[in-house]
Amino acid sequence: ATLRAQLEYVPDKRSQFVTARVVADAGGTFFHSLLINAGARQFIRRGQAVIWQGGLIGRIAEVGERSSRVLLMTDINSRIPVVVESTGDRAIVRGDNSAHPVLQFLPRNSPISPGDRIVTSGHGGVYPPGLLVGAVAQTSDTAVTVQPFVDWSKLSQAVILDYGVDGILPPPEQVPAAPLRPHPTNELPN
């Protein structure tokens, strides 16, 4: 306590969590998501990180009164700021609707190899730092793929982490609509 006071140490906010059951796999060819049996009544909010057995599953995308939809990290709409543990290089894990998401924006000279662990970086504020995402599966000149730590075939439960992400992902009804563009000739069509 004395050392912390001297360093003006500010501890991380203690996370709270809710454990829920996976009630439906709503995945398909074009999207990957799950439905869980916890919602607004259990204080679930959009943007909260979802894990199982230590590995990241994704984040809460939609919240109902008694259920929520989880956007999986493999979904084409998923982007996760990460760090390669062995090198400290930052990158983005991008879902591509396959079992192995792609590692993007990795420095070209990064000395990564298959098996290197990938964890969340905490940048962007949606995911807390240090959550296990996966391991490097393959490296090539064109792409680096990631093997998630979660075994999707055995996924029956989920843990929703509350790290206080209020305000980062506003509800869809609060997102401002794009303004209408005027007709190119500034005249209305007949």
Q: Please give the single-letter amino acid code of residue 62.
A: E
pTM given for the model? 0.77
Q: What is the pLDDT of residue 186?
A: 47
Q: What value does the mean pLDDT of the chain take?
A: 82
How many helices (H) and strands (E) in the chain?
Answer: 1, 12
Average pLDDT over residues 79-100: 93
End-to-end CA, the chain: 76
Q: What is the pLDDT of residue 146?
A: 95
> Among the listed ranges 3-12, 65-74, 77-86, which one has the minimum average pLDDT value?
3-12
3-state secondary structure of 146: strand
**Eight-class DSSP state of 184:** T
Encode pLDDT of 34-46 as tens digits.
Answer: 999 999 999 899 9
62 close to 46: Cβ distance less than 8 angstroms = yes
Residue 31 zone, left/alpha/beta (φ > 0; ψ -120 to 50; rest): beta
3-state secondary structure of 49: strand
Q: What is the pLDDT of residue 189?
A: 47
Could you give the CA distance from residue 35 to residue 27 in angstroms, rounded to a whole number? 10
Greater model confidence, 15 or 149: 149
Could you give the CA distance from residue 126 to residue 17 in angstroms, rounded to a whole number? 15
Q: What is the pLDDT of residue 170?
A: 55
